[in-house]
Amino acid sequence: MRRREKIVLAAFLLSLALMATQYVPIEWRYLGIGLLFVLSFLLSAWSLAEDLQAHEWLTIVPFPAFYAIAVALFYFLLPELFISRLVVLILFGVGMYALLLTSNIFSVAKGRTIQLLYAAHAVALFFTMLTSLLFSNVIFSLKLPFYLNAALIFATHWHLVNMSLWSIELNKGLSKEILSYSGLLTLVLAELAVLFSFLPMQTWHKSLFIMSILYIALSVMHSFIKGRLFKSTVNEYILVSVLMFILFVLMFPLK
């Protein structure tokens, strides 16, 4: 079976698995999501197996699995309308296919530059933001204590940050610098989660703010890793940060 056929089949099977989680009894749903994570991990590894190296089991393979459980958890928050769930299911399948293709490009591109790599970085960044948004929304919707919010934000975002930073250089391993940057940025997001736990902000407001901070931080780090973090670039990101803060203050009122 060709690799693209494997990717199509994996995306289709995972879409069916996501739909199946909705028919699991409520008391077993978290177990069902756990099984979905394992299935996503295994199918991702199977579809990408030809070029996978040891370190890519920690950098490439888990990303589709994290995306799958983020959508599955958010799926439970949707109104029980057939059309809304069908739309999410279709979008999930298309997104999984695109994400597996992106992961395949990263796996193939190590050690050499291919034309699709720039597009793959853009797609990966988009899915990183989407996965962050869904995870944050679910976590803040649970109304948990601040320390659990921080722990869950850290646990769900560390891999997203680590994969995003690693994909810029595509090194044959995880460097200490990448691990340090990943830990530092994820710790900042966890601290923001603690702050937001005490503020009477709307759930979507908190989630969007986490995602926006993540986007700006990753963009700066990407430029730094590429050696393109010039003064003009820094000024642009500072301006975007200021405008983002003003926008949130004006457009997203407190409860």
243 class by beta-carbon count within 10 Å (0-12 exposed, 13-18 middle, 19+ buried)? exposed
Quote the CA–CA distance of 48 and 198 in Å, as a whole number.
Answer: 43
Which residues are CB-contacts of 229 (< 8 A; sequence separation ≥ 6)? 220, 223
Which tokens go with 10? Answer: 């994996």
Q: What is the DSSP letter of 55?
A: T
Quote the CA–CA distance of 181 and 202 in Å, as a whole number.
Answer: 29
Spans of all domains in the chain:
3-251
Q: What is the DSSP letter of 50?
A: G
Taking each helix axis from N to C end, the angle separating 203-226 and 146-169, rounded to the nearest 10 degrees, works out to 30
pLDDT digits (tens, 9 = 90+) for 171-187: 777 788 889 999 999 99
Residue among 94, 92, 37 nearest 61 (CA): 37
Which tokens go with 102? Answer: 């992106």
> What tens-digit pLDDT sequence spans the chain (255 residues)?
788 899 999 999 999 998 888 777 877 888 888 999 999 999 999 998 877 787 788 888 999 999 999 999 888 777 777 787 788 889 999 999 999 999 988 888 765 666 788 889 999 999 999 999 999 999 999 999 999 999 999 999 999 999 999 988 887 777 888 899 999 999 999 999 999 998 888 888 889 999 999 999 999 999 888 887 788 878 888 888 888 878 777 766 554
Quote the CA–CA distance of 106 and 91 in Å, as a whole number.
Answer: 22
**Residue type present at position 174:** L
Which tokens go with 154? Answer: 């850290």
Quote the CA–CA distance of 239 and 155 in Å, as a whole number.
Answer: 30
C-alpha 90 chain-centroid distance: 18
Which tokens go with 11? Answer: 């995306």
Residue among 60, 74, 68, 61 nearest 15 (CA): 68
